[in-house]
Structures are given as C-alpha cells and as structure tokens.
Chains A and B, each alone.
Chain A
Amino acid sequence: MNVRNGGLLVLAVVLVVGSVLIGSRHEGARFTGSDGQAMAAVAAIRPDYQPWFGLIWEPPPEIASGLFALQAALGAGVLGYYLGFKRGQARGRRNRADAGD
C-alpha cells in the first residue's frame, strides 16, 4: 500500500516537473493562468464587453502570495492532522491488540 502510494506521488511529481520542462520550451511560455487566457478569449469574441462589476478588494501582489500560501497551509495542516491522527490511532489499536495477546 505505502509502496503503491509512493509510486503514485512520484508519478504526480514527475508530471509537474515534466510539465515545467516541456512547457518552458514553448515559445514565450510564461505559465500564465488559463483563467486569464479564458478572459482574454472573451475579449477576443466580444471586444466591446466591459466587466460591469469590479473586485471589492484586491490584495497587493506580495500579500496575495501570502494569502495563497495561507490557503494551502490551512488545507495541508488540517489534512495532515487528520492523516497523522488516523495513523497514530491505528498504531495504538495494534499495540493494544498485541499487548492483549
């Protein structure tokens, strides 16, 4: 199980690294977001379209990167807590079962 999970994680990392390497060879590749490209496509289809509502608040770039990190950290923190908790719980159960033998 753990070996298989390790393999899957390695495969995911290979995909990410491979994507960067292949993507970097594209002419003018700047790894812009596909969301932004879609909004550019909107402008291409309807050049006269103006967004009718602006962002209520836009974080300055430095703060935005911090907030993105915060979002990832909160998610990874809770997820990691759960995974560690369950592993410890299973180990505790096994140890108790061994002691009872």
Chain B
Amino acid sequence: MHIAEGFLPPLHAAAWTAVALPFVAVSAWRVNRLMRDQPQVKLLLAASGAFAFVISALKLPSATGSCSHATGTGLGAILFGPSVMALLGTIVLAFQALLLAHGGITTLGANVVSMAIVGPWVAYGLLRGARRLNAPLAASVFLATMLGDLATYAMTAGQLALAFPDPASGIAGSFVKFVGVFAPTQLPLAVIEGLLTVVIVNFLREYSGDELQILKFPSQTVAVEARS
C-alpha cells in the first residue's frame, strides 16, 4: 500500500496530507494523555507499535507469485482505539519513507490515511460491531484485523483511482484495476495478519489481564488476577 514517492499529483498529495494531519495531531495528543493518565499500559502501547513495525517490514510472498506486506495496525486499534494508531502508523511509514525508499514524503499523507487511519478505524469498528453481536472474541479479532488490512489496501486503490482515472472507464474502472493488482496478493497476507493478531490477543488475555482491564478489553484472567 505504499504509494511511491512522487506518484500522486501535487494537489492530491497535498489534499491527503491535509486529511491526515488532524488525525495525527489528535493521535499525538491522545498518546500523550494515555502515557500520563495510564502509565501502566505504556509497555503494551510500545509492544503494539512494535507489532506494526515488525509486521510491516516483512514482505511476505503470496500465492499469486508476488509479494506484499501486512500492516499490523489492527492490533493497537482494537486495544487502544483507532485514534492512537495514527501516530504509531505515521512513525512506521516515516521510517520506511526516509530510510528504506519505501513510500515517500509527498505520499506520506496518503499512506498514513490508508494504513494508519482507515485500516485501524475499520478494524476497531468491526470489532465493536462483532462484540455487540456477542460473536466469539477470537473470531471477531481475526475478522476485524483481517478486514482492516484489506481496507487499507482498498483505500490505497481508491487514492490511486482518484488520481489516475481510467481514460475509458473513469475512476470506477481505475479502482477495479488497482484492486485487481492488490487484492489477490493481499488476501492471504490479510489472513496471516488476522491469525498473528489473534495469537497476540490470546497471549494478552492470558498474561496481561491487568492492562486489558484498564483498556476495558474483554479478558479472561480478571478473576485469577483478583484472587492472587
């Protein structure tokens, strides 16, 4: 989902940066407040950021014979709320843009919107919805983070389609074309992201009941914690 440096026309690049800025600013404020008010969850926040860092560094092969990477931003979104992830995702994307020639400064805003804003919000919203329907937690986490990953790539396809409408079939036709590029490669990777997120959440529910309780995330170890 990294739109390469210079690959969005100046107007689009500026517009997506303008969209991303308030989210990142609010996110910085939220992270700051979280660290001050609930310092107990600092380490878990760092671990969630680290998850996105490692997962988005791994270019994984897909059955289509091409490579892509997961986003890793769903985990932090379902634990801390989506607004916190905008800052963490921006840090990851800035690192990749500046040091790895992956993405770029002019396209940072657009990439932040897809990976650090849209993906996390979709994952968070889906988990909330699934919880309301009383779906099993593991299945909910899997679906939410898998679809959050796919939403990130759908957003990228949308951004590219807006900037490069197909001469014949317009924005819609172009969108279908870009989705066709990303979707077959991304689908198995989104499944892997969902699986890994469930693994982490299972661990947290067993060992991090105290932190999950602070974050009001359903945990199964609360009773054990209270006893000991």
B15 part of interface (Cβ distance < 8 Å): no
1/0 contact trace for A53-82 toward B, CB 8 Å? 111111100001001100110111111011
B199 part of interface (Cβ distance < 8 Å): yes
Q: Which of B50-73 contact A (CB under 8 A)?
A: 50-55, 57-68
B96 part of interface (Cβ distance < 8 Å): yes
Task: Assess the A1–B202 pair: CB atoms within 8 A.
Answer: yes
A24 to B66, CA, bound (A): 9
Closest Cβ of chain A to B176, distance in Å, is 11
Contact of A55 among B57, B65, B101 (CB under 8 A): B101
Q: Which residues of A contact B165 (CB under 8 A)?
A: 45
Task: Assess the A23–B66 pair: CB atoms within 8 A.
Answer: yes
Q: Which residues of A contact B2 (CB under 8 A)?
A: 35
Q: Which of A7-28 contact B (CB under 8 A)?
A: 8-9, 11-12, 15-16, 18-20, 22-26, 28
Task: Assess the A83–B47 pair: CB atoms within 8 A.
Answer: yes
Which range holds the interface residue count of chain B?
35 or more
Surface stretch bound by A, among B22-30, B79-87, B117-125, B181-189: B181-189
Q: Which residues of A contact B219 (CB under 8 A)?
A: none
A78 to B54, CA, bound (A): 10
Task: Assess the A52–B9 pair: CB atoms within 8 A.
Answer: yes
Task: Assess the A34–B182 pair: CB atoms within 8 A.
Answer: yes
Contact of A19 among B46, B61, B164, B199 (CB under 8 A): B61
A51 to B43, CA, bound (A): 40
Q: Given A53-B106, A79-B47, is A41 in contact with B54 using a C-beta cutoff of 8 Å?
A: no
Number of A-B contacts (CB under 8 A): 188
Task: Assess the A59–B207 pair: CB atoms within 8 A.
Answer: no
Q: Given A38-B160, A74-B50, A75-B54, is A45 in contact with B198 using a C-beta cutoff of 8 Å?
A: no
Task: Assess the B66–A32 pair: CB atoms within 8 A.
Answer: yes
Contact of B4 among A39, A75, A96 (CB under 8 A): A39
Closest Cβ of chain A to B196, distance in Å, is 6
Q: Given A16-B192, A82-B44, A82-B50, is A23 in contact with B57 using a C-beta cutoff of 8 Å?
A: no
Q: Which residues of B contact A23 (CB under 8 A)?
A: 61-66
Contact of B195 among A8, A38, A42, A56 (CB under 8 A): A8
Task: Assess the B4–A68 pair: CB atoms within 8 A.
Answer: no
Task: Assess the A35–B191 pair: CB atoms within 8 A.
Answer: no
Task: Assess the A42–B101 pair: CB atoms within 8 A.
Answer: no
Task: Assess the A37–B181 pair: CB atoms within 8 A.
Answer: yes
Q: Which residues of A contact B160 (CB under 8 A)?
A: 38, 41-42
